[in-house]
């Protein structure tokens, strides 16, 4: 196959991927007036459109079997749907996996199109394929951190509502109305669930499953115990809120003291890949010995293993739990 045919095939493949993504994420909603005008003008046939929609629906159901099998396999080790929900990503696990596969395919085709070394094909595929997962982990971590920051204010707001004579459900509704996402959304969902007849204990338990936060578990445990044994719930929530605030202060001091170690870890972990790219740009034949020679491949595997080991050791040193 000539290079021109290869370039044409790659171009058609990339164009097909782009069109496929556009069709997946397109949300077209025609108005009734436009549909009626198209019917009068003879541009649309209702019977034919209905048959095409049925065929399209059947095709989508057939394609959805693959991601469902994948979700079943992933559910044995983790819950991808819950992970997406914790990151506040309104997307199914199958579609998320499809996006990762498409990006991985594009990353594998990029070195081929740019006529780079074939050894960079898995590197490009792994890099682009991991971008959605990295983004999901980052967004989930940021959302959970925001929830933990808002939780003391929410506890104090519920405590003030109880002192004013309101019920606990009214306190949850007040938090949902007065505080922004994510804590407003989670407390609002708990309020709506108990309004629909679900017991408050089950509602709070499901909220702790959606938001893995230890302080939230303290809050839910205090509420459940107070409903079973009685007591001043407002005072308990005030004490838990003040305890969480003091722990945040200590955590801030720890972050300030370990800032130098974290920065050193980032520099040491980023230096080998950047040096690899620089040497690859300056002298490609010199660096490709790591992929073509047997001893070079062994050295590369040992270097990657030591890099991962160093990252784990540095993380263990600077990650101090408070």
Distance CA 26, CA 17 (A): 14
Please give the model's pTM, rounded to 2 decimal places.
Answer: 0.64
The better pLDDT of the pair 274, 27 is held by: 274
Q: Which residues of 251-271 are buried (b: 16+ CB within 10 A; e: fewer)?
A: eeeeeeeeeeeeeebeeeeee
pLDDT of residue 39: 55
Nearest CA to 140 out of 96, 82, 55 is that of 82
Distance CA 235, CA 227 (A): 14
pLDDT of residue 291: 82
pLDDT of residue 321: 74
pLDDT band (50, 70, 90) for residue 259: confident
Q: Which residue has 């702790």 as its token pair?
A: 208
Distance CA 145, CA 130 (A): 22
pLDDT of residue 59: 41
pLDDT band (50, 70, 90) for residue 71: low
pLDDT band (50, 70, 90) for residue 147: very high
pLDDT of residue 64: 43
Q: 15-19, 27-31, 53-57, 77-81: which has the highest mean pLDDT?
A: 77-81
Which pairs count as long-range contacts for 244-250, CB under 8 Å and 24+ apart, including other chains?
244/151, 244/152, 244/155, 244/215, 245/152, 247/322, 248/149, 248/152, 250/322
Please compute the mean of the pLDDT values over residues 179-200 and round it to a whole number.
Answer: 89
pLDDT of residue 146: 92
The better pLDDT of the pair 4, 253 is held by: 253
Cβ distance 261 to 317 under 8 Å? yes
Q: 18-27, 65-74, 90-99, 269-278: which has the highest mean pLDDT?
A: 269-278
pLDDT band (50, 70, 90) for residue 142: very high
What are the tens digits of pLDDT across the range 90-130? 888 888 888 888 888 888 888 777 777 677 778 788 888 88
Range scoring the smallest mean pLDDT among 46-60, 98-112, 131-145: 46-60
Question: At 258, is the secondary structure helix, strand, or coil?
Answer: coil
pLDDT of residue 287: 84
pLDDT band (50, 70, 90) for residue 54: very low
Q: How many CB atoms lie within 10 A of CB 76?
A: 7
The residues near 73 (Cβ < 8 Å, ≥ 6 apart) are none
pLDDT of residue 123: 77
Instruction: Please state, in angstroms and as integers, the Cα–Cα distance from residue 317 to each residue in 138, 216, 248, 251, 313, following that order.
Output: 21, 27, 20, 15, 6
Q: Answer whether residue 134 shows pLDDT above 50.
A: yes
Q: Which residue has 């994948």 as its token pair?
A: 70
Cβ distance 105 to 125 under 8 Å? yes
Q: Which two tokens stand for residue 171?
A: 């306190």
Cβ distance 6 to 114 under 8 Å? no
The better pLDDT of the pair 271, 43 is held by: 271
In the chain, which segments carry CATH 1.20.81?
Answer: 147-253
pLDDT of residue 42: 54
Chain mean pLDDT for the chain: 77
**Domain 147-253 indexed as CATH 1.20.81:** yes
pLDDT of residue 7: 52
Q: Which residue has 């004013």 as its token pair?
A: 164
pLDDT of residue 62: 40
pLDDT band (50, 70, 90) for residue 87: confident
pLDDT of residue 120: 72
Please compute the mean of the pLDDT values over residues 14-33 and round it to a whole number.
Answer: 48
Q: Answer whether residue 85 shows pLDDT above 50.
A: yes
Q: What beta strand segments (E) does the chain contain?
A: none
Query: With the C-alpha atoms ordered 53, 56, 62, 63, is the resulting torsion angle positive or negative?
Result: negative
Q: Answer whether residue 132 shows pLDDT above 60.
A: yes
Please compute the mean of the pLDDT values over residues 205-222 and round it to a whole number.
Answer: 88
């Amino acid at each position: 196959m000539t290079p021109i045919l290869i370039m044409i095939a790659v171009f058609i493949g990339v164009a097909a991927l782009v069109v496929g993504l556009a069709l997946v994420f397109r949300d077209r909603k025609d108005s009734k007036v436009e549909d009626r005008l198209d019917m009068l003008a003879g541009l649309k046939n209702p019977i034919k459109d209905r048959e095409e929609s049925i065929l399209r629906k059947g095709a989508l159901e057939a394609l959805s079997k693959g991601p469902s099998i994948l979700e079943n396999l992933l559910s044995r080790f983790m819950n991808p749907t819950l992970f997406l929900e914790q990151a506040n990503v309104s997307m199914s696990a199958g579609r998320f996996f499809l996006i990762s596969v498409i990006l991985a395919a594009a990353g594998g085709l990029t070195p081929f199109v740019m006529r780079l070394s074939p050894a960079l094909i898995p590197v490009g595929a792994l890099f682009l394929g991991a971008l959605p997962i990295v983004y999901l982990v980052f967004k989930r971590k940021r959302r959970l951190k925001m929830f933990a920051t808002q939780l003391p204010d929410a506890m104090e707001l519920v405590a003030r509502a109880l002192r004013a004579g309101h019920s606990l459900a009214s306190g949850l509704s007040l938090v949902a109305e007065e505080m922004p996402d994510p804590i407003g959304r989670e407390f609002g969902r708990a309020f709506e669930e108990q309004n629909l007849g679900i017991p408050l204990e089950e509602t709070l338990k499901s909220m702790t499953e959606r938001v893995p936060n230890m302080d939230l578990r303290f809050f839910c445990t205090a509420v459940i115990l107070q409903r079973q044994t009685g007591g001043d719930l407002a005072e308990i929530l005030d004490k838990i809120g003040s305890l969480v605030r003091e722990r945040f202060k200590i955590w801030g001091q720890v972050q300030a003291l370990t800032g130098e170690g974290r920065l050193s870890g980032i520099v040491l972990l980023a230096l080998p890949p950047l040096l690899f790219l620089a040497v690859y740009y300056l002298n490609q034949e010199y660096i490709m010995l790591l992929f073509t020679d047997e001893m070079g491949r062994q050295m590369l595997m040992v270097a990657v293993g030591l890099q991962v080991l160093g990252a784990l050791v540095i993380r263990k040193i600077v990650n101090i739990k408070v």
